[in-house]
């Protein structure tokens, strides 16, 4: 395609496209480590201070939870929906299981996190106790454990 007012007979984007493609291929062929800047919502309970949460984080976490399940927990969906006693009991069982994967503990504790962020005292105390137990494997958990004891959500 020729342009009447242009002295260049090729379209202006053609040279950039070929240069962009070689640049893309060069970048794709390099072995570049991936850096994750945002932690996954299932790990928020063990890495974020309660003051750093916003109300929208509850919706994000619950959306992720709606796409997951815990095998052997038939009432899991009730805990995810906000029933504190069910969520805490599922999380208690997940934490007690021998050889339980961190993923199942993260899923269960995220449900408790949502309920704690909504202002439930029992969920906050349970979250604090579990974080305190994790202190030996993760030093940040002791600080987080103490911060949940004094937390009151601003949006409730």
pLDDT at residue 16 is higher than 70: no
Q: What is the mean pLDDT of the chain?
A: 84
Residue with tokens 């979250």: 127
Tens digit of pLDDT for each residue in 107-121? 999 999 999 999 999
* C-alpha dist (Å) from residue 143 to 47, 69, 76, 124, 129: 10, 29, 29, 14, 12
Q: What is the pTM of this model?
A: 0.74
Distance CA 38, CA 61 (A): 13
């Amino acid at each position: 395609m020729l342009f009447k007012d242009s002295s260049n007979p090729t379209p202006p984007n053609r040279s950039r496209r070929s240069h962009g493609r070689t640049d893309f291929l060069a970048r794709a062929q390099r072995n570049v480590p991936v850096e994750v800047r945002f932690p996954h919502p299932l790990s928020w309970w063990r890495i974020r201070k309660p003051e750093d949460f916003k109300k929208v984080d509850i919706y994000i976490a619950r959306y992720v939870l709606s796409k997951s399940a815990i095998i052997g927990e038939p009432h899991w969906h009730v805990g995810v929906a906000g029933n504190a006693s069910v969520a805490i009991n599922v999380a208690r069982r997940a934490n007690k299981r021998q050889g339980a994967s961190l993923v199942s503990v993260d899923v269960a504790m995220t449900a408790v996190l949502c309920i704690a962020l909504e202002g439930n005292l029992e969920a906050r105390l349970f979250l604090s106790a579990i974080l305190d137990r994790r202190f030996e494997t993760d030093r940040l958990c002791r600080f987080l454990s103490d911060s949940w004891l004094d937390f009151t959500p601003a949006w409730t």
